Structure 1
């Protein structure tokens, strides 16, 4: 008699992952939370969302109420989910063969990674509150600069920093054969090197910079830094935006949008946190928000910074510019240099610049506005506000100059290039110079875009003289354009002054477009002028020199417009600085002796004899004829 077969209970199959479920394909879940083979093959992040099955429980009202979670607890839970999702894709991001398919990408050895991070320490983004909060520099130093040991999101940020640092690197792997500086602060190379040598560095480094940028983009896309809200991902989006701006590529700014979106989500958590390590340095945030707003203005794009963003990151709104200017004028009677006054004025001044950049797009330059001349009242209001900003700038720079003069009297001068890095270890002189540079950058970043926009919208036609109303309106707009032209001219002078404050403009590669715009404007004005002004030539020379230094970071001749501008600058400065030509005629200029016939020679002697006698009489101090007179 056969025993009945006992039917064993089948073990339930694990649920399919989210991606396979969305694509309606067969999934093969792996134990211990490992990614499924299909996600590994496609390079996707394998996550599984549990589905609650069965009937809902009765007496829901009698169930115990859930304990409300705080904002910080919700963020901690979301961070844990992000880490779990990132861990499932770690085998993809940590693969040493990540960049084999990218041409010209160097092997990122620990020695080379260490070099890149040393270069990054000399660049302004190192003080971004997001970069400081991630402690990426400390983390990579603890693992001896081995990228494969970093967590996925930290590794993406490290790759972004490496790609950005390649713009100023002096390593032979980046620059290849040719002259190399000893450091990023080599005065002999940067101050004494020719423009051709500096420009060759930008051309030599271009392939490696593009390869590292592509590697950072690939890693960021695979890690999903746009979608997962973390401080490291926000910092990665910020660095990728800096890289995009340095290359002038793209019509939109997706990385800037993601960066600010992450910051908006994280800022309330920073404010609710009781720890001191939150990235909520309000003055630094004011500076980086101004830089972001000026990037949009320079690219003629909508300003992504809202008024609420400024209040969230920079604190309460300051007093009006008129009240702020009145307070500066009231304190101008004090002759004692005080660096603290310059520091305290930075946050409200930067706040005003961001607000004006937003106003410029909303009322004058925006694509949403109808074509043709903008509103007279809006233009007049903006010109008035920008004039007040320039007056505030003059007061602050006067104080900065007094502070620098007092500090120079007590410290020994240094010939080294001063990096534009303002942190806790910087000296008072470096901080004051950085503040002065930022103050001027804010004004210059608005003056020329305003003039170009008005010049384009108003045009050259004065309208029909028979239509008196239209003619009067056009004439009023011409006066406003002339006022904007004057402010743009002041922007040239102030930008050259800012460059003289700091000699390290090539540490800010994204400023190349500003240099090109102002160099072109100044050159057009100088070539159209009837008289060559020495101050104008000096300012053009200063801006041209800094444009040459930016050639150390970027290939200037890869852009035909920039290449043409550099050649124009070289020709103009060469013509202006050329010594005057003194034409002197000697005996040989009249031809060989005996070339003239005797009659012609005798006639010339008769003609020149009175002039010779008069000359001898005038030059002889003992001549009786002269003394008699």
Structure 2
């Protein structure tokens, strides 16, 4: 048996040489030949024999080896998955995933659409959605021929963010088309209460919202991709701070969000403050009261981030962030008023700022001790009681500030301030109640004191929701857009329709809610929150699954109200704050279009909402008797909202008596300035 020279190497590797018969018989070493000829020993002995070659058997792994290898591979994959899971949260917060690139035609945006986005941005307080003035953006785009591609990376990201925000609230035909009559939707539709379901209809409203969301998803995705590639999160400047704030507002529409853009926003604002360039960013067009405006802007932005944080159970911002960004406050409210005596018109603003800062501190304490802390180790009843008492003591302060705003603020700024103070307190109380309610559901941890604290927290939450819903009206959509996420209107509705345990006795009037009791009339009016939930469909957030539960609750409350009125013909109407009219008598089946209060005129976009509180020119802030001038001019003498009595103290006496802490509260719960 022979092989050709060309295949000799293959034969060597595929065949096994066997000893010849003679050598195998003699048990001697044999050197078999590959061509089948006798070996050298046989040739020497003169023996004629042949060498047989057999095919080599391929070597493989046995079953044990294969099983061992498979087990090793599985253990390695499990270890890798565990390590990835442990670091997934921090990775998401530090670097969001980059969305896929969209077609280039996304940048072929007409100049009119960009102008419309800037007009929507000018509806924000101060005429800007953040720290980058709209006039600067308009001038920059005009110099580039309104071409987004010609902008610098950070300006391009901001332009995309403004477009994404406008796509949810604007009535430009590009986003929502034309109404059934063939014309353009009026600009008044940028206010939630002016939408008419009688003209649109529920199906059309939902369809328009879905169209908005599809457009916003593209713009938001491209903005986030560009922001990630250009390092928006790691480079601090006014444009990037604004972009992070807008991206965070859009990010909360997702069912789960780790707030990466809110984290970046706080870091950038802190960085700009450390570099002493923040004051140059907080520019006010009229040039009056710049220092107070800076202080107010910082607190307002931090309060917004705090609202997001407590909804997600995340502690933002920290104490260091607050002290650095908002500067160290005066040791007491009296010292703040003395400092404000040199700035006419600053005293009410100082009071509002202290109230806002106290709300931020309460949110942080609740996150550290009750809301976030309870997930791993539930707090004791004493800690919970301290948190509830602190929130209850803060409520009368908010009521006094609220009456002050009614008396001294005019124009769109009044609604903005009322909305900000009411919603912030509502977010705090709802988060407290939800944390305690989930804890009380665990039988082994539930005590009599826990049940009482839950009922107490719910009474406070319902009171706060009633105040917040009342202030949402007449606010442009951008102001309450963040509260359409999972922890916003949805969480409020769940508190209102809760019917288990002590919640049922509270609704029936058997439980004592103290000063936070909400009458049946107010509950019916508060449940008009259903209109807010229904309107969210117009901006692409469909929460209408909660409407049937709210309707059932409304029917129950109306039946109870009818029983009360039939039992007593001399019942007095629910007391309402000045400037509000009860709407509980309206039938629940009326359409949006038949409600006269919902057909308000269009927004005057030429008027910029103002935070400023302007006192009369004849006030003398340098006089020792300035506070009597303030109280006399405002005409406020009620001790609590909607209630007055003989010898009632002025709303401003609490500044001297108990500072901003309110009431005779324990020293451990007193506000840091009182």
User: Same-fold call, TM > 0.5?
Assistant: yes
Distance 1:249 1:368, change over 3 A: same
1:357 aligned counterpart, secondary structure: helix
1:54-453 equivalences under 5 Å are 99-100=102-103, 105=106, 107-124=108-125, 127-132=128-133, 135-176=136-177, 178-179=179-180, 180-184=184-188, 190-194=194-198, 196=202, 197-245=204-252, 247-271=253-277, 277=283, 281-300=294-313, 302-319=314-331, 341-367=347-373, 370-371=376-377, 373-403=378-408, 428-453=410-435
Distance 1:375 1:130, change over 3 A: same
Distance in structure 1 (CA, Å) of the matches to 2:282 and 2:522: 49
The answer for the alignment partner of 1:52 in structure 2 is: none
2:185 aligned counterpart, secondary structure: coil
1:434-583 equivalences under 5 Å are 434-459=416-441, 461=443, 474-500=447-473, 502-505=474-477, 507-513=479-485, 514-525=488-499, 528=504, 529-530=507-508, 533-541=520-528, 543-556=529-542, 562-570=543-551, 572-573=553-554
- Report the alpha carbon displacement of residue 487 of structure 1 after superposing the two structures with TM: 0.7
Could you give the per-residue CA deviations for residues 570-590 of structure 1, whole angstroms, max 9, x where no partner exists? 55557877999xxxxxxxxxx
2:232 aligned counterpart, secondary structure: coil
Contact persistence 2:484–2:541 (CA under 8 A):
no
Distance 1:131 1:570, change over 3 A: farther
Distance in structure 1 (CA, Å) of the matches to 2:482 and 2:250: 8
Q: TM-score under structure 1 normalisation? A: 0.61
Q: TM-score under structure 2 normalisation? A: 0.57
2:388 aligned counterpart, secondary structure: helix
Distance in structure 1 (CA, Å) of the matches to 2:389 and 2:545: 35
Distance in structure 2 (CA, Å) of the matches to 1:188 and 1:235: 24
Which segment drifts farther, 209-218 or 272-281? 272-281
Rg larger in 1 or in 2? 2
- Report the alpha carbon displacement of residue 149 of structure 1 after superposing the two structures with TM: 2.4
Distance 1:272 1:232, change over 3 A: closer
User: Cα RMSD between the aligned structures?
Assistant: 3.6
Contact persistence 2:422–2:468 (CA under 8 A):
yes
Contact persistence 1:339–1:403 (CA under 8 A):
no
Contact persistence 2:154–2:230 (CA under 8 A):
yes
- Report the alpha carbon displacement of residue 359 of structure 1 after superposing the two structures with TM: 0.7
1:524 aligned counterpart, secondary structure: coil
The answer for the alignment partner of 2:568 in structure 1 is: none
Contact persistence 1:229–1:265 (CA under 8 A):
yes
1:508 aligned counterpart, secondary structure: helix
Distance 1:387 1:519, change over 3 A: same
Structure 2: gaps spanning 5 or more residues: 1-99, 285-289, 338-343, 510-518, 563-674
Distance 1:156 1:172, change over 3 A: same
Distance in structure 2 (CA, Å) of the matches to 1:455 and 1:368: 11
Which segment drifts farther, 443-452 or 305-314? 305-314
Higher relative contact order (CA 8 A, sep 6+): 2
Distance in structure 1 (CA, Å) of the matches to 2:554 and 2:197: 17
- Report the alpha carbon displacement of residue 191 of structure 1 after superposing the two structures with TM: 4.7
Contact persistence 2:213–2:540 (CA under 8 A):
yes
Could you give the per-residue CA deviations for residues 33-81 of structure 1, whole angstroms, max 9, x where no partner exists? xxxxxxxxxxxxxxxxxxxxxxxxxxxxxxxxxxxxxxxxxxxxxxxxx
Distance in structure 2 (CA, Å) of the matches to 1:267 and 1:212: 30
